[in-house]
Structure 1
Amino acid sequence: MAPSSSAPDWRGVADVLPQALWLIDAATLQVLYANAAAAELVGRRVEDMVGSSVHQLASAPQDRLFWEQEPADIAAGIRSCTSVWNARRSAQVPVERWVQALTRDAAPHDGGAAPLLVMSMQDITESETSARKLEALLAELRATLDCAVDGILSCDLQGNIRAFNHRLVQIWKLPNALLIRRDDAAIHAHMQAQVEDPRVFRQSMATLRHEPLLEFTQIFRLRSGSTVELRSMPQLVHGKPAGRVHVYRDISSETEAQAGLRLAAQVFESSLDAIFIADESDAIVRVNPGCQALLGHEHEMPQGSRVTALIDPGVPEKTYLAQVRQAWDVQGFWSGDVLLRRGTDELATPVALSWVPLRSEDGVVSQSVGFMRDLGPQHAAQRRIEELAFTDALTGLPNRLQLTHRVESAIDSARGRNVEFAVLFLDLDRFKIVNDSLGHPFGDRVLKLVAQRLQQCLRQSDMLCRVGGDEFVVYLHGADRKVAEAVARRVLEEMMLPFTLDEMGFSIQSSIGIALYPHDGITLDDLIKHADTAMYRVKERGRGSYGFYRPQMNANLLSRMKMEHAMRLALGVNHMAVHYQPQVELASGRVMGMEALLRWTDPQLGAVSPATFIPLAEECGYIVTLGAWVMEQAIVEASHWHASKTPMVVSVNVSALEFRQPGFVDRVASLLTRHGLPPRCLELELTESVLLQEAQEMAQLLGALAQLGVGLSIDDFGTGYSSLAYLKKLPIQRLKIDKSFVDGLPALERDQAIVQAIVSMGRALGIAVVAEGVETDAQRDALAAMGCDFYQGYLYAPALPVPRLRELVSQAGAGKARVSASATGPSS
């Protein structure tokens, strides 16, 4: 459609406009008009465009789609868009397009009633290029920020986040949810929660908001363990604050490095070892206080001195330094003992030196560090250890180790030759009394005096050795039996002389055992053991003498050792049992009580006599265990008789060692209570020797037992140191006449007189009397005539096991009272 000739003169105005304009019929989509700017933009003449279809102007797919719509849809559709058009230079030119629908009334057109469309286009090549450059610049800036090692956060004056980089996300561990949501308050809250002290972080942020020009630095410790440094700078626009840039730096490694340096400096200054630092030429540049102390506080600091001027390695300087360099190259350090020069007037100090090189990146030694430790105390301690290893700490005499070396050397020299020597084992008699009465410090001083006196009895070639306590061993070089006996006599004579210490005079007696090489042994251990055995036999025979070893001594000791071992095992395997010997009232002939007696039958040894194993048990201390077991068994048996309405008194022998055990009275009371036995049904038999030892203490114990209600009797009366004094003072209920006096009745007048005296004494003191070992009717009748109260022995019954005892008592009630002695075996 051609433009109307009567159209108003608006074309001149349109032609001068810089925008490209087209007037398009909405119904036919034909171009009704185009101005000069349009022809310039698309590179076509106006005449060619007028009357043509608008589709010829559509170059982009979206433009074609737009113009292919219904006219009404085009009129109501997109008002503006940006497209790419082909310019006349056959280049793609970005343009911005507007399409405006006009009514026919408002359109500068004279034909039809269909609406007209005004399309305008503008070349945006220059703006697009500027935008792309700006976008590229912003991308480079973002990449630069993301490459930064510090976390950067940009905010406005109110704290609203403008931008941040990737490093900030890493430092503060911002979750993806916050990054997507871009919630400023949530991000600030998350950062605050990561700080160990949120209050300080909150106060710091508040200060920055109130002081926009403040340059601020702060260090925060995060809960993750990291240390973060904040540097906050104001952001100025035209000299006025427009925001703030926060720079966060993770300084954990720097902090650790600084802490390490501080620690190293502290270690250097406070180390007990002496430390020096030398340069590449081995000149000392620094020493720590420990090194200064080792050198001596009065000496000047040795800075500038060469290391070899301070130490004496024992070899020439060049040789030593060559050895050091070689060690550095091979193992990375040199270590060894050297002497430290401390001054012209002082002795060199032995030190342990460790010298370590410090190398630069190219491997060249730039510095070195030396560590020195004073070996003086260690060497002194070593000398002391060696001294203690070979000498007795108290007396200064040679000890067992030094004696061993000496005797082994003598044995080696004696092989194949007719050479003798002697070993004496010496023990001080009753030395325990000295320690107990005067104290161990005084006893130690006495041992020193004894050692000096014994040393005077020996030759230079002999050796005196203290092996422990009050025991000494003497090695007599080249001594035969005659020489050994002479030395033993001289020692005994010397020891008989009085000692004086702290103006106190006292005597020390000794017992000596002698063993000869090679007759009594070919090793030191054998010789000492045999000499000890001989000494032990001397003590058995009265002490204060000497004796030579004989082989049969060992045989006796071996048998005793075997018996002791078997005895200690016997209780656990039921090889021991308690038998009971009835005690009969002479006047009525009734069984009134019984004595508990221990019996031992061993599979190898057979029936072992109490006279054999009881002394052995007392000697080794096992009598305490045996006595406790016998007492409990006896109380259990007495409980049976009490429960069966035929109560009997059960007598139990108590050894001196058992009686002196702590808590003895309490243990007796506990057993009585546990088994429900009245105390009057138990009688304890004690020997006179027990009562005479520590009389005051024994009187207290006897009083406690009497108060408990337990009966007390004296066993084997008349064989010890009988005294009316303790009979009068102590709560004794019965006396037992020893069998040795009963054996002579009624024929021997002396025995008869002794028994009569004991019975009369008991009657006068109100103490019952029991005769032991009654075997004949004549003995029984004699005792009855003298007024004796009770008797026990083979005449009535030996010691019986529990079943036989109960059977006997039952028969006694029926008139059958005696048991054949031959049917039961021996009794004690």
Structure 2
Amino acid sequence: MDRRVQKQEVLKWAFFESALDAILVIDEKRHVLSLNYAAETLFSLKASDVIGSDVVKLLPFYKFSSLQDGRTEHSLLISNREVTVEITVMAVAIEETVEYMLYIRNMTQEREAEKTLIEAKNRYENLFYSSPLAIMVHREEEVVSVNDAMIQLLGVTEDQLVGKSLYDFFSSEQVPDIKKGLKAVRDRKDEPRPPLAQLKMYNALGKELFLEVKSTLIQINGETLFQTVTRDVTEQKKAQESLQYMAFHDMLTDLPNRSMFSNIVEKSIDSAAASGKKLHFLFLDLDRFKQVNDTLGHHAGDQLMLQVVDRMKSCLRNQDVLSRFGGDEFLVLLHDRTDEEVRKICKSLNDCLSTPFVVLSRDVYLGVSIGVSLFPKDGKTLEVLVRHADLAMYEVKKQGRNHYLFYQKEMQVHTTRRMRIEDGLRKAFELGEMELHYQPKVNIQSGHIVGVEALIRWTHAKMGVISPAEFIPIAEETGVIVTLTKWVLKKACHQNKYWQLKGLPPLKMSVNISSVDFGTTDFVDYVLDVLREVELESRYLELEITESVTMKHVEQTIEKLQILKDAGVFISIDDFGSGYSSFSYIQKLPIHTLKIDRSFIKDLDPNTTEVSIVRAIITLAKSLQLSVVAEGVEEVEQVELLHKEKCDEVQGYYFSKPISAQEFYEKFHKIEEKMEFVH
């Protein structure tokens, strides 16, 4: 019996000492009888320090009445740190006395973890409900919760969303793709960057929305849910689509423009070459159209142009391609026609366009001069075929207009002027025939001149003033453009530095760069060398390149642009909207500015489509954090419209035509004063 009692005592003592929780044993007078190792650790003391003393020394709040009613939780201050404990009291009758065992569990870490969890939950909820981005939490299909931004985006109440299917807002065609995307998120749950998707939907008001969505997996109350963050990119998407459409269509007539026509012709030439069929190209130039614009105005000219296009279409088959080449010029591609059939078409065009048009209640008489070239007889590329059709058209103009001619080799004699220009270009620099004029750019918000564009002018000793529109393309074809651009770049930088020394505010000097220039291996080095030589800070030089430049050797172009941008040189896309650019492509270019093509500014009016186009370009630029310059501004009303649309800078005859360096210096402040008339 003694051995059994002794064994039980040993076991009880082993349990007492090995317990993970602190245990105190006290008598009825609250004196501490014993405590285990866990209690010594919790209270940071030795058993000998407290045995026999009042338990209040350890538990200042000690009251039998409170401790004996189940478990209670209290805070203790132990060694200057706050500890949360859970106390359970058990009364043990020993012979005629009662002892109390106090089980004390340290709950500090658990309570801190709970507090941290609550704080994290509160932070998440605050972010969730206050986020400007629309957020939805959902099981694969069932909506669990939404924030205010999502409710506003969809135009519904929370009750109309929570518990409902998110697929209700999408067309049935999109549902398989959405399911596939969510499955991809679930399968890739360990990847840090979830895939981004674009979706189209309609809100409760029937408005078409384009959304950029990103879904991730989250854990809420032990359940795995999807959290989908949504960004409304509707305006951006529409601007992109508008610009994409503009890149391939003439905005007035809705006809294919040069870019789209080129794409169609390239495919047609490849097909015709393989099949041995013929293609005819018609170059059409309207006779007397410019007089209508000059006498009745551009709005009347636009009305007339639409009537002209309708009549042209009536003379062609659906498979024939009619394109507006620019201004009052058109190109037509005819598939697999005989020469006699083409002659009949040309005569039909002459006849139907000779019948008077009615514009503003007035009879207007036009005609059309047509040049024809034939593939493969007259050329095997679009460039050659158009040039030869153009030569035939000019021969018609010489012979009296409103007729047609097929290209003949003898017509090449009329290229004599071109040859004289080409020869003159090579001598113009040494003869001092070239000079620079400067056209100011005005910040539309501040009214101050912030830059100028350097524009080259040529006065030939015998031929007189030759337009850049005539000699620049020849310079590009012959390679003389490289010498010309280097001369312009150095002279313009010297002039800018001189103006700064003379006291003018620092300005950005813009220089036009051709694709030929950009293709040379030393172009970037030359630009940086000129800046060092002139001691002009790179931020005061801006290079203007066309969209076509960026389309050639894309990777090398981006690399060169990036080097220049990193060096501090500003990069601008000139004539934006007239070429090939798409939103996705522009995003990749290291540029600072989009320069709206003057064709959209020329007839800018609150009631014209040009306003929508300009607004779309500005919206696109702002979304890409680019500045916007409008060129070709001639009227104060145009300035006011552009100011309203938040355009950054304007350039055009309203402020000043291109003028000499000295004249610009003298008229600087007078030019700025013109902004005072803008409301």
Greater relative CO, 1 or 2 (CA 8 Å, sep 6+):
2
Provide the TM-score with structure 2 as the length reference. 0.42
| Rg larger in structure | 1
